A and B are shown apart, each in its own frame.
Chain A
Amino acid sequence: GAGVSQSPRYKVAKRGQDVALRCDPISGHVSLFWYQQALGQGPEFLTYFQNEAQLDKSGLPSDRFFAERPEGSVSTLKIQRTQQEDSAVYLCASSRTGYGYTFGSGTRLTVV
């Protein structure tokens, strides 16, 4: 596609609910990244894939967070047993080379 597509754009979850956020990267982009952006803050790295391999998951804040990219294209970020501190915008980005990311518009998650 023309850009990185994320869905849903907005998600309201009750505390304790599981959520799944989807990212469709730009076609042909090998590298895929997830970032978390709290209100009024810069994005913070969560995890990185090269094709289907998850090469770095050092930014995932807890074992409630899980990401996958099984066929090296679409990626899903799953958050189990959501907590209020998980409320943020979750950004996905893709790149051919690892530099010069293209970000999607993000999914705004609100946990109530």
Chain B
Amino acid sequence: EAGVTQFPSHSVIEKGQTVTLRCDPISGHDNLYWYRRVMGKEIKFLLHFVKESKQDESGMPNNRFLAERTGGTYSTLKVQPAELEDSGVYFCASSQGVDGGETQYFGPGTRLLVL
């Protein structure tokens, strides 16, 4: 069975441009999460989808970040316009079930560099 996949693996853009990251969770997983590690800092939670609904978006840094999960399948995270401090690694994770506390399976991450 395929794990969590993320696209692209790397992205280099200029400040002010737009970037869209994609995450395909494990098939059948209702929960989808976005995390990020900004350079030199800890991995931080961004938001959590249960199917197509946003369950918790308390970690989203500002309104330049927009996450969607169409039809409860894959998810996209768009950064518009990108700023220098957005550089980092963006991880997606998924878990099965809706009761919480399930093991989260992480993708390899998308490395974003904003110049």
Q: Do A and B come from one complex?
A: no
Which residue numbers of B lie inside 8 Å of A, CB to CB? none
